[in-house]
Structure 1
């Protein structure tokens, strides 16, 4: 992809990531919370650190204004110019470098779903594996059996462990009967962490993972490709839900920069704005249970293999 303003916008969620990156230089830990097409007011380093900076998306471009300063307005590139003191191609090159966008570089492709793998980035020999709690069926059992990793769950879902249950569930037409069957016959995990029991207040350690439930979607195969190629979030695990009409998308978050619930809200807004997908708000709980189905085509981030 060539180095241009359009390419920069495509890789930075219309420029919102640029605003967030610049603001973090002044206020570490800054997270922009998008609601619809408007962000909540943020601190403005160019107005005495007042919470007057208003950022929104207009015509697929992130723009700003100040609640106090009538002449302080413009788009994301104008804002970046104030910080970097650069313009045009020099500014674009600087943003490409600082945000690690890798525009204009040669890519090689992993052989599934055209996943971009940048050969110049060398992963450590052994990556720390996120750990989380595993629970035996039924869902009423809220005491974990053990702690497991992404690779453990990947192997379980690929295996035939829950193949019969998955086939049986998908043959049940009555919604309540199907829900009751799933609750009684499938083991489950809490991807977001290790718990002493399944409750938000019993979290012992967050895993750095968040589960996105995409329910009742058509053309699941097409959505798999789109999510794997998403330029904003990296996919750690992706598989078809037990019912067969949805996807479970496991992505990484950094809980040192924002809470689990803040991330969920921001991701919900992002998916609605980018893909017109509406998430169930009940998924915001960090102790959210995720049933383990049979999916021989489950995807795991190749860095773990």
Structure 2
């Protein structure tokens, strides 16, 4: 399996990114400095200091999992498409968080599941085999599948290929580097032959090249 590359930006104000491999991203999440920053942010939020939490969040590094961007973070700056799609789920109640997280880990194609910086949501990174032209359809299909599986709504703003993702919390991080890619979105004809949309397990193939 080849490395998945995307861009890392040192803060939301930084428009000049650097290439980072998926495994390097995971190492960054596990670093003591990042854990300290997340703990500080969450402590401020627990004290009811939302303004300070928001200020600190803007200082976090972020990534564009959709691919490598050069010279800016607009769609026109995309230079290399990655094989990743990210789905955000916000405002998950504490009594549901563990169950949702465990379900997310079992979804085929999921390479990483992490808690959001606030501790109140999760981010799901999925590996796909899709062209840029397939991006929107793939996002819609997988978002619908995840919503059915997890019973909560996806943040639809994540559909943008240039969406910046703040580095999530390292607490309970799930990482499966061997996750196989979701191969395709079912066609209209295929979907019409079933009584319901196919589950993600039906569109995963082993041995695919995840580099796009």
Decide: shared fold, TM above 0.5: yes
1:214 corresponds to:
89
Q: Is the 8 A contact 1:190 1:288 kept in 2?
A: yes
Shift of 1:175: 3.5
2:161 corresponds to:
286
Shift of 1:180: 2.6
1:255 pairs with one of 130, 137, 157:
130
Distance in structure 2 (CA, Å) of the matches to 1:186 and 1:194: 19
Shift of 1:161: 2.2
Q: Which has the higher contact order (CA 8 A, sep 6+)?
A: 2
TM-score (norm 1): 0.53
RMSD across aligned positions (CA) = 2.0
Alignment gaps of 5+ in structure 1: 1-126
Partner SS state of residue 162, structure 1: helix
Q: Is the 8 A contact 1:132 1:191 kept in 2?
A: yes
Corresponding position: 1:189 with 2:66: no
Cα displacement string for residues 67-107 of structure 1 (whole angstroms, at most 9, x for unaligned residues): xxxxxxxxxxxxxxxxxxxxxxxxxxxxxxxxxxxxxxxxx
1:129 corresponds to:
3
Partner SS state of residue 33, structure 2: coil
Alignment gaps of 5+ in structure 2: 180-212
Partner SS state of residue 217, structure 1: coil
TM-score (norm 2): 0.74
Distance in structure 2 (CA, Å) of the matches to 1:254 and 1:176: 40
Query: After the TM superposition, which segments of 4 or more aligned residues of structure 1 sit over 6 Å from their partners?
Result: none
Partner SS state of residue 236, structure 1: strand
1:170 corresponds to:
42
2:189 corresponds to:
none
Distance in structure 2 (CA, Å) of the matches to 1:269 and 1:164: 35
Shift of 1:271: 2.6
The number of equivalent residue pairs is: 173
